Chain A
Amino acid sequence: MAAADYRELSLNGLWKNNPAIVQLLGLCPLLAVTGSVVNALGLAAATTLVLLCSNTAVSLIRNVVSDAVRLPVFVMIIAAAVTCIELLMQAFTYELYQILGIFLPLITTNCVILGRADAYASKNPLPLAMCDGLMMGLGFGIILVLLGALRELLGTGALFANMDLLFGPAAADWKVVLVEDYQAFLLAILPPGAFIFTGLLIAGKNLIDRQIKRRQDARKAQPVKGAKRVRVTGTIS
Chain B
Amino acid sequence: MLGQSISRNSLLLGVFAVITTLLIAGTYLLTRDRIAAAQRQAEEKALLEIVPDERHDNNMLDDTLAIPPGELGLKQPRSAYIARRGRQAAAVILPVTAPDGYSGAIDLIVGVNRDGTVAGVRVLNHRETPGLGDKVDLNKSDWVLGFDGRSLDDPSVERWAVKKDGGAFDQFTGATITPRAVVTATRGALEYARTRHGELFADGPDTATQPAPADSGAH
Contacts and interface: CB of A to CB of B under 8 A. Distances in A.
Given A68-B9, A94-B42, A162-B139, A87 B131 contact: no
Interface string A116-157: 000000000000000000000000000000000000000110
A184 B35 contact: no
B27 A73 contact: no
B38 A94 contact: yes
Contact of A87 (B31, B39, B130, B132): B31
A interface SS class: helix
Nearest to A86: B27
Contacts of B129: 190
B35 A87 contact: yes
How big is the B interface, by class? 20 to 34
Given A35-B130, A91-B31, A155-B130, A69 B24 contact: no
Contact of A186 (B21, B35, B132, B139): B132
Contacts of A189: 130-131
Contact of B13 (A35, A73, A156, A186): A73
A65 interface: yes
B9 A69 contact: yes
Given A76-B20, A91-B34, 4 more contacts: A80-B20, A88-B27, A189-B131, A190-B131
20 contacts: A68-B5, A69-B12, A72-B13, A73-B13, A77-B16, A77-B20, A80-B21, A83-B24, A83-B27, A84-B24, A87-B28, A88-B31, A91-B31, A91-B34, A91-B38, A94-B39, A155-B130, A162-B139, A189-B131, A190-B129
Interface of B: 5, 8-9, 12-13, 16-17, 20-21, 23-24, 27-28, 31, 34-35, 38-39, 41-42, 129-132, 139
Interface of A: 35, 64-66, 68-69, 72-73, 76-77, 79-80, 83-84, 87-88, 90-92, 94-95, 98, 155-156, 162, 184, 186, 189-190
